[in-house]
Amino acid sequence: MSVVMRYSTPAIVLHWLVALLIFAGFPLGVYMHELPLSPDKLKLYSYHKWIGVTVLMLVAVRLGWRLTHMPPPLPDGIAAWQRRASAITHGLLYGLMIAIPLSGWLMSSAKGFQTVWLGVLPLPDLVDKDKALGDLLAGVHQALNFTLLALVILHVAAALKHHFIERRPFLQRMAWGGKERT
Amino acid sequence: MRMTGLILLAALAAPAANAVEYQTVLPKQSTIHFEFRQMGVPIKGGFKRFTTQMTFDPAKPEAARAQIEIDLASIDAGSPEADDESAGKLWFNRSVHPKATFVSSQVRALGNNRYEMRGTLTLKGKSRDMVVPVTFAPGKNAATFDGAFVLRRLDFGIGEGMWADVNTVANEVQVRFRIAAIGN
């Protein structure tokens, strides 16, 4: 078996950090918005927003890293349409990781709540308080999130398929242990 | 001698003749706003309906009186959800205490059109003495009285039970008001 080429260490750290935050922020968002108003609800909303802003910051770093560092090539034997699908999926995932926190930030402003990251760093309100806009952005935020959910399922399923069904050491690409591409 | 007496009389009468007593409040130009912090986020709100009775003569500030009655149902607490929540028992308990009132007891001139107004604020059945700095600005069409003070909501039991946690909703509420009035 050939040596597995893996992503660079910063790329791996950023991938899993962002994955963890998304896996926390998504169910939190689904859960919190149906709750009756309470201090706990206000706290959960804040945590959700802090997670989203953190994702936005990390993805900015990630995107900068990705554009200046080539990922390891896909192993031989992966069909051309799958390579294309992979490129499109990754592009969309990056787009959503930016668009989702951004839509949440704008929604919050439109609903009249400034976003203050970790309760200390105020983000500017890029739109004025506007109920119709707030409701519209809530719909956009939700639609983008369910698109993300679908793409994450596809992303994970594809990785697992390459690893377990095609029996390639595929998951090591995004884990320590393989040989880093230099 | 008669001439001098007349001039003296005119001089004495002059301030009284120029003095305006502000008694007619212009509700549309008067505002009550507040701001508080929720999870570190500044939330702006206000009250749309309130009535003010006042009398103020710059020449006799110590005789000034003000009485403000606020319709708590006219609240903007930052969001429709918060407006609804504020009516409940833990907040204003509005079905029992629909109004807030402020009644002045003493006004003291501080100079430069600044005054200190003392009075009693009654909210949710609790009365507390307040000291409110007020700035008077005689305008062309109407005079304005601007004031600001910090209200500690827990002094009035505003936000009881689970809401008493000031780390979520701050205890301090910055209140700003502007009363516009014309003279008679």
Contact A37 B82 (CB under 8 A): yes
Domain ranges of chain B: 20-183
Q: How far is B42 from chain A (nearest CA, A)?
A: 7
The per-residue pLDDT for A83 is: 95
Chain B residues lying within 8 Å of A42, measured CB to CB: 38-39, 168-169
d(CA A54, CA A101): 9
d(CA A13, CA A11): 6
d(CA A170, CA A163): 5
CA separation (Å) from A173 to A77, A166, A181, B72, B96?
Answer: 16, 15, 10, 61, 66
The per-residue pLDDT for B13 is: 47
Say if CB A108 and CB A124 are below 8 A apart: no
Q: How far is A53 from chain B (nearest CA, A)?
A: 15
* Three-class secondary structure of residue B13 per DSSP: helix
The per-residue pLDDT for A178 is: 61
Judged against a pLDDT cut of 80, whether residue B116 lies above it is answered with yes
Contact A42 B169 (CB under 8 A): yes
Q: How far is B9 from chain A (nearest CA, A)?
A: 60
Which CB contacts under 8 angstroms, 24+ apart, belong to A170-173?
Answer: A170/A75, A172/A4, A172/A6, A173/A4, A173/A5, A173/A6, A173/A7, A173/A72
d(CA B169, CA B37): 6
Among all residues of chain A, which has the CA nearest to that of B163?
A39
> What tens digit of pLDDT does each residue of A43-94 get?
999 999 999 999 999 999 999 999 999 999 998 889 999 999 999 999 999 9
Domain ranges of chain A: 5-180
Judged against a pLDDT cut of 80, whether residue B52 lies above it is answered with yes
Contact B154/A at CB under 8 A = no
d(CA A153, CA B158): 47
Chain B residues lying within 8 Å of A119, measured CB to CB: 39-41
Interface confidence (ipTM) of the complex:
0.83
Residue B29: which residues within 8 A CB-CB, separation 6 or more? B142, B144, B178, B180
The per-residue pLDDT for A146 is: 97
d(CA B153, CA B157): 6
The per-residue pLDDT for A169 is: 84
Q: What CATH number should be reported for the domain whose range is B20-183?
A: 2.40.128.110
d(CA A68, CA B68): 65
Contact A114/B at CB under 8 A = yes
Say if CB A78 and CB A126 are below 8 A apart: no
Say if CB A177 and CB A132 are below 8 A apart: no
Judged against a pLDDT cut of 70, whether residue B126 lies above it is answered with yes
Which band of pLDDT confidence, cut at 50, 70 and 90, is reported for residue B133? very high
Contact B88/A at CB under 8 A = no
Contact A46/B at CB under 8 A = yes
Which CB contacts under 8 angstroms, 24+ apart, belong to B58-63?
Answer: B58/B19, B58/B20, B58/B136, B58/B138, B59/B15, B59/B16, B59/B19, B61/B107, B61/B108, B61/B109, B61/B115, B62/B106, B62/B107, B62/B108, B62/B109, B63/B107
d(CA B183, CA B22): 4
Q: What CATH number should be reported for the domain whose range is A5-180?
A: 1.20.950
Q: In this structure, are strands B31-38 and B169-183 parallel, antiparallel, or unpaired? A: antiparallel
CA-based nearest residue to B100, from B72, B66, B128: B72
Instruction: Find the helix packing angle between A80-110 and A39-68, rounded to 10°.
Output: 140
Chain A residues lying within 8 Å of B163, measured CB to CB: 39
For chain A, residues with pLDDT lower than 70 are: 1-3, 178-182
Chain B residues lying within 8 Å of A112, measured CB to CB: 43-44, 78-79
Q: Show the DSSP H helices in chain A as ranges.
A: 9-32, 39-68, 80-110, 131-160
* Three-class secondary structure of residue A127 per DSSP: coil
Mean predicted lDDT score pLDDT of chain B: 91
